[in-house]
Amino acid sequence: MTVNSGTDGEPNGEPDHQMIESSDREMRDIDCRHAVELMSDYLDGRLDAGHRARLERHLAECPYCVEYLAQLRVVIEALGRAQPGDLSEEALAGLVQVYREWKR
C-alpha cells in the first residue's frame, strides 16, 4: 500500500486512496480469458457469489463475452438433447481433432 506525501514530500502515513481504489478494481475486474474460464460454471450455477458478480460485471461491459456466452447456451441447448451414440464415428473423430488442435 502506498501512502500520501505531506507538503514536504515525505509520507504522512495516510493511505493513498487513489492507489487503493485502482488496486481493488484490478482485483475485482477480470479479463476475457478468465471470463471464458468461468462461463461453464456460471451456466451450471456453480460459481460463488463473488465470482458470479465479477463475471456479470465483465459481461455488462464486454459484448464479445456476451456473444460467446450466447454461443455456449446454443451449444448446450443443442447437445443437451444428444444421447450416447447419437454421433457417428466420423463426427466424433472430427470433434476430437478440433479439440486437439485447439489445445496446441
Q: Are 52 and 42 in contact (CB under 8 A)?
A: yes
Q: Give residues with Cβ within 8 angstroms of 29, minimum separation 6.
A: 54, 57, 58
> What does the pLDDT look like over 30-43, one tens digit per residue?
999 999 999 989 99
Instruction: Give the per-residue pLDDT at 80.
Output: 77
Q: Indicate the range of 11-15, 19-23, 43-47, 75-79 predicted with least confidence.
A: 19-23
